[in-house]
Amino acid sequence: MNKRIFCNVCGRQLHMENNILLEDAFEARKQWGYFSKKDTTLHSFVICEECYDKMVEKFAIPPEVIDVTEL
Q: Where are the alpha helices (DSSP H) in 29-69?
A: 49-57
Within a domain: residue 7? no
| Domain assignment of residue 49, given as a range | 16-57
Report if pTM > 0.85.
Answer: no
Structural domain total, the chain:
1
Within a domain: residue 37? yes
Q: Which helix (H) or strand (E) holds 50?
A: helix 49-57
What is the pLDDT confidence band of residue 8, given thresholds at 50, 70 and 90? very high
Could you tell me if 14 and 3 are in contact, meaning their C-beta atoms sit under 8 angstroms apart?
Answer: no
Within a domain: residue 49? yes
Q: Using alpha carbons only, what angle is made at residue 45 by residues 41 and 48, rounded to the nearest 5 degrees? A: 170
Could you tell me if 36 and 15 are in contact, meaning their C-beta atoms sit under 8 angstroms apart?
Answer: no
What is the pLDDT confidence band of residue 2, given thresholds at 50, 70 and 90? confident
What is the pLDDT confidence band of residue 1, given thresholds at 50, 70 and 90? low
